[in-house]
Amino acid sequence: MTKTADRDLDDLEIERYARHLVLPEIGEEGQLALLEARVLIIGAGGLGAPLVQYLAAAGVGTLGIVDDDLVDLSNLQRQPIHAMADLDRPKVESAAAFAKAINPDVTIEALQERFLPENALDLVSRYDLVADASDNPATRYLINDACYLARRPLVSAAVMRFDGQITTFKAYTGEGHGPCYRCLFGNDAADTKDSCADVGVLGALPGILGSLQAMEVIKELLSIGDSLDGRLLLYDALAAAFRSIRAAADPGCPLCGPQATIRDVTQQNYLAGCAA
């Protein structure tokens, strides 16, 4: 996904991104590609916090942040981009201020709205890549479907209690493609299951998975390293153990299979929301 810029880095950019520039896999061309990139982060909570922090710091040029929620005291246990002074403030405003304090040159598009079937394709289509930092299965199905239909790579993570998972979806790439979210988790978008509010989550866990998401986003933007497309990475915090599972596309998938029936997200039954 690397793009070629029509400019050179200025002196301040060379100083700011010096540790990137000495990496052969990135260098000036890669850093310029990051500065030109547009990434949509859906959810400004536990997973969204490290995504906002590290992608802004890395110089991803434009970050869209979608969330309609306000900062609550219970968020601060796992969402360190928000502070006591931000209570009752829209999360997207707090997240934007945090990102700009790190890197004022990054453009932040703060979108205080729910991610719904009515706006999903339009939002996703404005960006090069999407990071799913939502907190419920219904929204993940909607994000998956919108990214597939808009042909945008999706880096998706989820956490609960002491466990986390992360993968990348690029099922739109053609013959021999990897799975989409439906291939891995079935087709019941109305299955809400338990949430972190019901069963809890260790505060540091979203930081780990969100940081891994930021790493995978950067890798996808620069086309470096091994993609998580076709692999599900599982993390057990109590055992301090990672496990990688190979995952294949489902030929019967109604979204990405050869007999696909899902052509428009507005015709699907989602219990959509956006929180983290």
Residues 6+ apart with CB under 8 A from 178: 169, 170, 171, 229, 230, 247, 248, 249
**What is the Cα–Cα distance from 239 to 162, expressed in whole angstroms?**
9
Residue 57 DSSP SS3: helix
How far apart CA 147 and CA 169 sit, in angstroms, is 9
What's the first-to-final CA gap in the chain, in angstroms? 28
CB 275 within 8 A of CB 200: no
Using CA atoms of 214, 219, 221, 222 in order, give the dihedral in degrees to the nearest 10: 140
Q: Are 39 and 15 in contact (CB under 8 A)?
A: no
The residues that bridge with 91 in the sheet, in sequence order, are: none
Whether 180 is catalytic is no
Active-site annotation holder among 180, 183, 196, 253: 196
Buried b (16+ CB within 10 A) or exposed e, 127-140: bbbbbbbbbbbbbb
List, by residue number, the catalytic residues. Answer: 196
